[in-house]
Amino acid sequence: MEWVRHRCQAGSDYSQYAFARDGGGNCNRATSGRNEGARPFTFLCLAHCHAHKNIDILLDAARRLPNYTGKPAKCLITVAPGQHPGARRLLARLDQEKLEGKIENIGPVPSEMLPQVYHRSDALIFPTLLESFSRTYLEALYFGLPILTSDRDFAHHLCRDAAIYFDHLDADGVAKAMARVMEDSGLRQRLVENGRSILAQTPTWDEIASRLVEVLERSARGEPPLYVEPRSCRTLKLRTQASPVQATGLCAREALAPWMRARPTTFAHCSTRRRAAGQVNTVQTGS
């Protein structure tokens, strides 16, 4: 099982960053890189240009933003022409609509440059339509950025009260959310502090690796895996005589179960009941 630990522990190493996290999850952001008043308020959209990332909405929002605030602002995007067929269209539109100073394309960001980019930014904006899991949210929390993102379940699950949510198809709504964060320093501070609480509950790569190994070993012993599912999803019925492929997939989900249970608004402690007839495990979440 050592290879499993190695693969899970191959996540981002934040220890190199100019940022400290103590055991209680409190985050002390480095003071360099923030010079409020001396430069435009800077939003960061750290995403490749794929259709579901919905980056185009930011161009429309940037044009509307002066209707809601008199403060200067710009949005950094990280687009390269080869990322998606739509990337070239977006970059061409950026040139045609003369959004210089409002939208700045800095191109793809190498991992070693992420700290500098986050420290150049005042807030993360993420108008994505669909995510399975976005490490960008956690990185923004880690670097002490308030988050503005789509009003979708996956975003609420990770960001909870550390984000401002908007209708990702409404450019005016996006612009209003941007202006709200720009104008209210107290709101920004509250979002950052709420993010620290979330980080305190977030498992480390070591914890995830240990949990994954534990459930894989239990599966190898023939013990049925458990599956925690969102309250909004249908009940899953899993035959205890699951194939190795099914068991492995469910074990991977179970490895994240402690994290899911730490979010009572979305997940709850699971209960497993074996029916006498058919040897079926029915797993549901509480209310």
* Residues of the domain holding 276: 205-285
Distance CA 245, CA 224 (A): 13
Please report whether residue 8 resides in a domain: no
Q: What are the tokens at 55?
A: 């980056």
Of 143, 169, 201, the residue that ends a domain is: 201
Which residues, other chains included, contact 239 with Cβ-Cβ below 8 Å and sequence gap of 6+? Answer: 278, 279, 280, 281
Q: Which parts of the chain have pLDDT scores under 70? A: 1-37, 225-287
Of 170, 201, 232, the residue that ends a domain is: 201
Residue 185's pLDDT is 97
pLDDT in tens, 224-255: 766 544 443 433 333 333 444 444 444 455 54
Nearest alpha carbon to residue 159 among 135, 177, 183, 182 = 135
CATH number at residue 186: 3.40.50.2000
Residue 135's pLDDT is 87
Residue 214's pLDDT is 86
Cβ burial of 4 (10 Å; 0-12, 13-18, 19+) is middle
Do 267 and 227 touch, CB atoms closer than 8 A?
no
Do 45 and 76 touch, CB atoms closer than 8 A?
yes
Residue 236's pLDDT is 36
Of 172, 201, 230, the residue that ends a domain is: 201
Please report whether residue 157 resides in a domain: yes
Same domain membership, residue 260 and residue 126: no
Please report whether residue 52 resides in a domain: yes
